[in-house]
Chain A
Amino acid sequence: MDEVDRIIIRSLREIGCDIEEGVECLKQFSTELVVEAAARCIEAIQPGSGIPTSLPPSMSMRFRIGAAIAQACTDMGYGGEVGYQTFLYSNEADLRRVLMFLIERLPKDGQTDKVVQEPTSRSAKIRKDISLTITKQLSAPWVPKFCRVDGIRWHEDGSFTKEGGSCSPFVSEPLQTGSTSHGCTPQEWREYCVKYLPFVSEQVSAANRLIPSLITLNSRGILAPSQQHPPPKAEELRKARSALLKAESHKLASQSFEAQSSYESSVKLSSRFALNERLQFIQEKSPEKKKMVIQENTQTESASETAEERQKRHEEEEELAVEKMKCENDELKDRIEQLQLDMKTLSAKLPQVLEESDIAERTLMDAEAKQAVRRKVLDLLPDPEANIAKLQAMIEASTQKLVKLATQWEEHRAPLLQQYRLARQLNSSKASESARTAEALRVTREKVSELTEEVRNKEQLHTLLQAEYAKVSKDNSRSAYTRRIMEIIGNITKQKDEIDKILKDTKELHKEINSLAGRLDRSFTVADEVIFRDAKRDDVSRRAYKLLATLHSECSELVKMVEETGANVRESRDLEDQIETESAKKVSDNLERISADLRQMKQETASLAAQLKTKAQ
Chain B
Amino acid sequence: MEPKLSTEIMTGLKRMGNSTLVSDEVFVKSLQCGMTTITQPDFTSANLSSISSGSSKGDVVKEAHCALLSLFVESARLDLTLDSLTVFLETKANWPQTRCKMLADAYAACVSKVQACLSNISVHPPHIVDVQWSLNHNTKSSSNKQTTSSFVSVQFETEGLPEGQEDKLVKFECTLAELQDMVSKLKEALRQVEHIAHI
**A interface residue numbers (CB < 8 A to B):** 114, 127-128, 130-131, 134-135, 138, 145, 150-152, 158-160, 162-170, 175, 177-179, 190, 193-195, 197-202, 207-208, 210-212, 214-215, 217-222, 225, 445
Alpha-carbon distance between A177 and B194 when the two chains are bound, in angstroms: 47
Contacting residue for A211 out of B121, B126, B127, CB 8 A:
B121
Alpha-carbon distance between A210 and B117 when the two chains are bound, in angstroms: 10
Q: Within 8 Å CB of A177, what residues of B?
A: 8-9, 12, 62-63, 66-67
Least CB distance, B131 to chain A, in whole angstroms: 13
Stretch of B18-26, B156-164, B168-176 that contacts chain A: B156-164
Q: Within 8 Å CB of A168, what residues of B?
A: 120-121, 162-163
Q: Within 8 Å CB of A217, what residues of B?
A: 6, 8-9, 66, 70
Top 8 closest pairs, chain A to chain B, by CB: A221-B6, A164-B127, A193-B59, A194-B58, A134-B197, A164-B160, A207-B41, A200-B66
Contacting residue for A151 out of B7, B127, B199, CB 8 A:
B127
Least CB distance, B134 to chain A, in whole angstroms: 23
| 6 A–B pairs (Cβ distance < 8 Å), ordered by A | A135-B197, A164-B160, A167-B120, A200-B69, A208-B121, A225-B6
Q: Within 8 Å CB of B163, what residues of A?
A: 166, 168
From B66, B91, B129, B161, name the one whose CB has the most chain A CB atoms within 10 angstroms.
B66
The answer to whether B8 touches A211 (Cβ under 8 A) is no
Contacting residue for B127 out of A163, A169, A210, A221, CB 8 A:
A163
The answer to whether A214 touches B65 (Cβ under 8 A) is no
Contacting residue for B193 out of A138, A169, A195, CB 8 A:
A138
The answer to whether A131 touches B199 (Cβ under 8 A) is yes
Least CB distance, A537 to chain B, in whole angstroms: 98
The answer to whether B59 touches A194 (Cβ under 8 A) is yes
Least CB distance, B70 to chain A, in whole angstroms: 5
Contacting residue for A200 out of B65, B112, B127, B193, CB 8 A:
B65
* Total chain B interface residues with beta-carbon distance under 8 A: 56
The answer to whether B58 touches A167 (Cβ under 8 A) is no
The answer to whether B160 touches A151 (Cβ under 8 A) is yes
Alpha-carbon distance between A150 and B120 when the two chains are bound, in angstroms: 7
The answer to whether A179 touches B12 (Cβ under 8 A) is yes
Is B119 in the interface zone, CB < 8 Å from A? yes
**A195-B58, A218-B74 given as contacts; is B160 within 8 A of A165 (CB)?**
yes
Stretch of B42-50, B98-106, B145-153 that contacts chain A: B42-50
Q: Chain B interface mostly helix, strand, loop or mixed?
A: helix
**A211-B38, A445-B91 given as contacts; is B6 within 8 A of A218 (CB)?**
yes
Q: Chain A interface mostly helix, strand, loop or mixed?
A: helix
Least CB distance, A231 to chain B, in whole angstroms: 12
Contacting residue for B37 out of A198, A210, A215, A221, CB 8 A:
A210
Q: Within 8 Å CB of B118, what residues of A?
A: 211
The answer to whether B69 touches A210 (Cβ under 8 A) is yes
**Interface digits, B75-101 against A, CB 8 Å rule (1 contact, 0 not)?**
001000000000000010000000000
**A179-B11, A201-B48, A218-B5 given as contacts; is B197 within 8 A of A167 (CB)?**
no
Q: Within 8 Å CB of A220, what residues of B?
A: 6
Q: Within 8 Å CB of B65, what residues of A?
A: 199-201
Query: Besides A127-B199, A208-B121, A225-B7, 6 other CB < 8 A contacts?
Result: A135-B197, A152-B120, A175-B66, A177-B12, A201-B65, A218-B9
Q: Within 8 Å CB of A212, what residues of B?
A: 121
The answer to whether A193 touches B58 (Cβ under 8 A) is yes
**Interface digits, B29-68 against A, CB 8 Å rule (1 contact, 0 not)?**
0000000011001110100100010000111001101110
Least CB distance, B46 to chain A, in whole angstroms: 11
Q: Within 8 Å CB of A158, what residues of B?
A: 112
Alpha-carbon distance between A145 and B126 when the two chains are bound, in angstroms: 13
The answer to whether A165 touches B120 (Cβ under 8 A) is yes
Alpha-carbon distance between A166 and B9 when the two chains are bound, in angstroms: 31
Alpha-carbon distance between A199 and B66 when the two chains are bound, in angstroms: 8
**A135-B197, A221-B9 given as contacts; is B70 within 8 A of A167 (CB)?**
no
Q: Within 8 Å CB of A152, what residues of B?
A: 116, 119-120
Alpha-carbon distance between A200 and B59 when the two chains are bound, in angstroms: 12
